[in-house]
Amino acid sequence: MTDSVTIFEVGPRDGLQNEKTEIATKDKIKLVDLLSQTGLRKIEVTSFVSTKWVPQMADAAQVMAGIQRRADVDYAVLTPNLRGFEGAVAADASEVAIFASASEGFSQNNINCSIAESLERFAPVAKAARDAGIPVRGYVSCIAECPYDGATKPADVAKVAKALAAMGCYEISLGDTIGRATPDQIDAMLTAVLEVVPATMLAGHFHDTSGRAIDNIDVSLAHGLRCFDSSVAGLGGCPYAPGAAGNIATETVLRHLTAQGFETGIDPNLFSQAVEFAATLRTSK
Ligand code: HMG
Ligand code: MG
């Protein structure tokens, strides 16, 4: 049987949240619609976050209302608190994501609270989602390096991943937020996390600042991970992680996985149309 890998497309959210100029709502919708036709099953569309913090995502409700949904695609959104969750429900999101950090500095700078406070804030979101039957994904940022605190201890990543799993997250996405992790760091981090969360519940989320994202995906594959986040045309970064480049490009991951014999279900020709359009939206370098 062919081994399959899920690609979780995060370009419309992780990519476009970081563009310096305003992207028209209609273009965001067009990008999601192009991606929907490629065979992807998971698309992170937008964030229901404070518009003061991330003005690029201020049109979250309009984007969700404008996309043409396919029954076989899940449309995910980020929800930092109950207010965001209510927005996600009103927008009929297929799933929501809560996002924590393994480092205190990034937690403070990204969501304005400590790690412990963030977990307290996420618990009612996870419960509300459970009650509403909406799947919840969890993120752990700064799994190897933090732009504010330096190197992250693997045990700190494991602790947050375990807490998110205990809240009922169906999957924990491990984020190399600033794209500086080495394969050795990812190996050590995964060894610690896999003691508390199984590989079937983990995803890799690698930004590609240092050009090591593919190596880090390979290390993750060797540890049994079969879901990776990536961004069409490599769009993106994080507004609260200075210097971070975009996620590894989905088309690069696709080529790499296909060459290794993994099945992704994505049509490369249809995907290249989305890449072409996404590239026209890129305004940041
Ligand atoms: P805060 O300032 O501590 O909280 O922000 P607040 O409750 O005082 O809210 C501030 C203002 O935002 C208030 O407005 C709220 O009403 C409003 P005001 O009263 O001043 O006019 N507000 C909201 N508006 C819309 N939707 C909401 C919402 N909540 C409050 N849900 C907060 C705390 C968490 C809200 C803020 O820090 C925030 O929104 N942060 C989000 C930052 C973000 O989106 N970062 C990028 C995504 S994370 C990422 O990219 C990493 C990832 O890719 C993985 C990786 O790479 O590692 C996932
Ligand atoms: Mg990210």
Give per-residue burial for 143-180: e unless 16+ CB within 10 Å, then b: bbbbbbbeebebebbbbbbbbbbebebebbbbbbbbbb
Q: Is the distance from the beta carbon of residue 48 to the nearest atom of ligand 1 less than 6 Å?
A: yes
Which residue from 9, 46, 48, 49 has its CB within 8 A of the most atoms of ligand 1, so it is best to mutate? 49
From the CA of 1, how far away is ligand 2's center (Å)? Answer: 32
* CA–CA distance, 243 with 22 (Å, rounded to integer): 20
**Statement: residue 179 has pLDDT above 80:** yes
Summarised one tens digit per residue, pLDDT across range 188-222 is 999 999 999 999 999 999 999 999 999 999 999 99
Confidence at residue 285, expressed as pLDDT on a 0 to 100 scale: 47
User: What's the DSSP call for residue 12?
Assistant: I
Closest-lying ligand 1 atom to the alpha carbon of residue 238? 50
- Assess contact for 129 and 135: CB atoms under 8 A: yes
From the CA of 50, how far away is ligand 1's center (Å)? Answer: 4
CA angle, corner 278, sides to 243 and 225, nearest 5?
65
The mean pLDDT value for 1-23 works out to 91
Q: Whose CA is nearest to atom 10 of ligand 1?
A: 50
Looking only at the bridges linking them, the beta strands covering 150-151 and 145-146 are: antiparallel
Q: Scan for tokens 């975009």, then name that residue.
A: 246
**Statement: residue 50 has pLDDT above 80:** yes
Q: Scan for tokens 């020709």, then name that residue.
A: 269
Confidence at residue 1, expressed as pLDDT on a 0 to 100 scale: 58
Looking at residue 136, its amino acid is V
The mean predicted confidence, pLDDT, of the chain is 96
* Enzyme catalytic residues: 238
From the CA of 40, how far away is ligand 2's center (Å)? Answer: 18
Query: What share of the chain in percent tops pLDDT 70?
Result: 98
Summarised one tens digit per residue, pLDDT across range 13-49 is 999 998 888 899 999 999 999 999 999 999 999 999 9
From the CA of 251, how far away is ligand 1's center (Å)? Answer: 30
233: left (phi over 0), alpha (psi -120 to 50) or beta: left
User: What's the DSSP call for residue 200?
Assistant: G
114 φ, ψ (degrees, to nearest 5): -75, 170
Q: Whose CA is nearest to atom 11 of ligand 1?
A: 50
CA dist 278 → 11, 31, 33, 207 (Å): 9, 7, 12, 17
